[in-house]
Each structure stands twice: as structure tokens, then as C-alpha cells.
Amino acid sequence: MSLRRGLSPVQRTLRACREAGRFVDKCEHWNPYGGARKPDGTAIGIRQDLFGFADIIALDPNAIVAIQTCAGSGHAAHRQKIIENVYATAWLIAGGHIELWSWRKVKVKRGGKAERWQARVENITQETLNERKDEHGKEAKTNDDGRAVGFDRRDPGEQQGDHQAG
């Protein structure tokens, strides 16, 4: 028996997407070997998102959507997490879409007691990602096509083995 009441933001988002007719599945997972360590050296574990920013993958008729979910109070922090993630740029260039869903309780009627959960959905675009800041808090430089400098289109495996065989 669980002591937890209600649904998590991921569960709420899965339900809302399915009700909207999207095909969705969770792509975050629990890594029991990652994260911080206890004093005895054993891992505490960490929840890991796909590419560091996606909790859910949704299939729309014309797009594949990576969705990050959180509580309403975490919207700004999760937005920044996506902006700082280089894989988010690659996802958009590959034709994917990114959405940030944050959930909060709102009153059903002004002055009333009844509350319901409401999602704030923000579409993350290339323009959003161009808000990336450098290590000194200045806006990151962008190429002529608007992408942040530093993104390399090559496969990560190719980047590691850049030398030519002789």
C-alpha cells in the first residue's frame, strides 16, 4: 500500500496526452547505481531523463514530441535545464518538438474551495534555446542560421574518433 496520494506530474501528463488522442510512453528511468553516495559508498540512485530532458515521448500525427514534466513551482528550473541541454538542439534540428508541462492546483470557482489540476504547456522552440547563456551570464553566440555555436551535427561516436586511419 502506497502512502503517496494523487498522481505524479508524469502520470498526469500521460493521462492528459492519452485523452487528447496522442500515443505516449514514459522514457525516464530509475538508475539505482547513479547519483550521490551514502557514507558507506553505496549509491542512492537517480531518476534519469532521455537525453537529459525528456520524461515522455508522444506521437502526434505530424510530429514526435519530447515532453518534460514538473510541478508548477519547477517550471523555470526545468525550462533552464532544457535550454542548457545540447541534445535539445539536436532534437529540434532532427524535426522533433519539445514541450514543458508544469502542473498546479487552481480553484474551480473564485473564492471556492474546490480545486483541480491544471497544466501549463510551453512549446520549446529553437528561439527558446537561443536564450542559452555562456558561463559569464552573457547570451550565447549563434550561427547565421540561429543555432547556438558549439552544436556539432556529427554522431557522438564520430566526434570521439576524429582521427583518420593511416
The answer to whether residue 161 sits within a structural domain is no
Kindly tell me if the per-residue pLDDT of 98 is higher than 90.
yes
pLDDT at 26: 95
The answer to whether residue 147 sits within a structural domain is no
The answer to whether residue 160 sits within a structural domain is no
The model carries a pTM of 0.72
The CA-atom distances, in angstroms, between 162 and each of 90, 148, 154, 166 are 20, 22, 10, 13
Q: How far apart are CA 91 and CA 97, in angstroms?
A: 7
In this structure, which amino acid lies at residue 63?
Answer: A
pLDDT at 128: 84
The answer to whether residue 17 sits within a structural domain is yes
Measured over the CA atoms of residue 7, residue 124, residue 134 and residue 90, the dihedral's sign is positive
For the domain that residue 87 is a member of, what is the CATH number?
A: 3.40.1350
The CA-atom distances, in angstroms, between 143 and each of 45, 119, 139, 140 are 39, 34, 13, 10
Mean pLDDT across the chain, nearest whole number?
Answer: 80
Q: Where does 20-102 have alpha helices with state H?
A: 75-83, 86-93
Structurally, how many domains does the chain consist of?
Answer: 1
Q: Please, which pLDDT band fits residue 144 given cuts at 50, 70 and 90?
A: low
Measured over the CA atoms of residue 84, residue 55, residue 94 and residue 34, the dihedral's sign is positive
Q: Please, which pLDDT band fits residue 62 given cuts at 50, 70 and 90?
A: confident
The answer to whether residue 153 sits within a structural domain is no
